[in-house]
Amino acid sequence: MPPKQNPAKLNPLQLRTLTLLQVMARIPGNAKEGDDGALQILQFPHAHGDHFHLGDFTVMSRDATGLENQAVWNALTRKGLLKTEWPTQIAVTAEGLAYDTGLADEILHGGGHH
């Protein structure tokens, strides 16, 4: 039986935000691992007009509005997917890293500039 899609009942903004945080946490040198397996994100990307780059991916700025939204951070923290101290620290928990948002193919585009 396939896993239940969105078992934490995340809303679309929370799903997009978690997808981007998962990618940021996996970029070499962009996160440090804590004792509990959570990956603390060390820096956020900077936008170039209507987009920004995450590793090999290009992301539209409109898909990243939750990255600087305290309510989104709080909701994902309550659900155990993040560990946060707004607005200075954010870490994706092991549960958050494993969560299938189903949005990677929709919001992560290609690789670099073409």
What pLDDT does 2 receive?
A: 54
Does residue 104 register a pLDDT over 90?
A: yes
Are 96 and 76 contacting, i.e. CB atoms less than 8 angstroms apart? yes
Q: How confident is the model at residue 27 (pLDDT cuts 50, 70, 90)?
A: very high
Omega into 28 within 30° of 0, i.e. cis? no
CA distance 30 to 106: 23
Q: Which region among 2-6, 10-14, 93-97 has the lowest average model confidence (pLDDT)?
A: 2-6
- Dig out the tokens for 32 from the structure: 């440090």
User: Which parts of the chain are beta strand (E)?
Assistant: 31-33, 39-41, 51-54, 57-60, 82-85, 89-92
Task: Quote the pLDDT of residue 114.
Answer: 42
For residues 26-53, give the mean pLDDT.
Answer: 94
pLDDT (mean) for 43-54: 92
Q: Confidence class of residue 66 from pLDDT cuts 50, 70 and 90?
A: very high
Reported confidence tier of residue 52, pLDDT bands at 50, 70, 90: very high
